Amino acid sequence: MVGTPVRILVLCGGHSAEREISLASGRSTVASLCQFGYPAELLDTIDPACTDLRLRQADLIVPMLHGMGGEDGSLQQRLQRLSIPWLGSSPAACELTFNKLRTRQLLQSIGIPIPAGTAVLKQESQRTVLQSIADLRWPLVVKPAEQGSSIGISIIQVPAQLPAALAEAFRWGDECLIEEFVEGREITVSLAGSQVLPLVEILPSGNWYDYASKYQSPTTRYVVNPLQIPAALPTAAVRAVQAAGASDLTRTDFRLRADGSFAVLEINTIPGMTDHSLVPMAAAALGLTIGQLLDPLIRQKLSLHRSAA
């Protein structure tokens, strides 16, 4: 740890659908940073104490605010306006990666494979939607354009399931994405700065890695450093993160087909830090706690901020 005490404020909670996960991530992060020697404090962004003055009292903000209000770039815009350094990506990178449609367009433009799919607007008729997905292979994944933790996502097998899936997705916004379900292994690649952490394969308890499998099921299994992963997969994660302008700590999720081809599902700029989360799992494989993982990123961020001051 740096010699001079560094006041770190971990922001979490908020109003999003991922509030409880965010609180859990925040608590884990604070506990590990304090154990490592950083005087870190937890602050829920809906707390009246979360004022600009309170934020300015911190030397560094560590956002653990998942979903709307955190990963969409709005928090980062506020911190940028206040000239307070934070750990994580820029407002523009957060805004881009939080929107699955914009992320798809970016990845496609640089030749990184994504699932076949199309965007759908809330005002479109069922007939129009069916026409727009006519060339897609079933089963399909219907997901909100802007959510995380598998919230609002449905996997559908037949057209009769489409209306309910769209209704669920449109609970979270006026635009959604319909993609082909990519059969295969689910692999995640975490980056800490330029360091590629050990890959993690997810073996969900159900048919797919939904909210319950992520946070509630005791039978979901994980394999760290899985075998038979093409070298192009982690390379694609690095390229995707760099193209999006994301930085510090990220997690990119993939589906790996049996033939070795793969598709990127999404890029996360504020990965979870709960006891079920994938980044801490990858760090633990290197013998690192969350605090030890974040330490060099914190040092670098503070050094850059002081140089710019």
Residue spans per domain, the chain: 8-87+289-308, 96-113+183-284, 117-180
CATH architecture for residues 96-113+183-284: 2-Layer Sandwich (3.30)
CATH class of 117-180: alpha beta
Residue 219, pLDDT score: 74
* Cβ–Cβ < 8 Å for 190, 250: yes
| pLDDT for the residue 275 | 81
Q: What is the pLDDT of residue 182?
A: 95
> Quick check: 108 and 165 in contact, CB under 8 A?
no
**pLDDT at position 179:** 96
Active site residues: 18, 149, 215, 251, 253, 266, 268, 272
Closest CA to 274 of 28, 40, 11, 34: 28
Q: What is the DSSP secondary structure assignment for residue 172, as one 8-state letter?
A: G
How many residues are there in the chain?
309
Amino acid identity of residue 280, one-letter, is P
pLDDT in the model for residue 215: 52
Burial environment of residue 304 by CB neighbours within 10 A (0 to 12, 13 to 18, 19 or more) = exposed
What does pTM read for this prediction?
A: 0.91
CATH match of 8-87+289-308 with 3.40.50.20? yes
- Distance of alpha carbon 212 from the chain centroid: 17
Q: What is the pLDDT of residue 147?
A: 73
pLDDT (tens digit, 0 to 9) for every residue of the chain, 309 residues total?
445 678 999 999 998 888 999 999 999 999 999 999 999 999 999 999 999 999 999 999 999 999 888 899 999 999 999 999 999 999 999 999 999 999 999 999 999 999 999 999 999 888 899 999 999 999 999 999 987 657 889 999 999 999 999 999 999 889 999 999 999 999 999 999 999 999 999 998 766 555 555 555 567 899 999 999 999 999 999 999 999 999 999 999 999 999 999 999 999 999 999 888 999 999 999 999 999 999 999 999 998 888 776
pLDDT computed for residue 276 by the predictor: 82
Residue 248: HSE in the Cβ half-sphere, 13 Å Cα cutoff: 24
Which pLDDT score is estimated for 2?
46
Query: Cα separation of 203 and 220, whole Å?
Result: 6
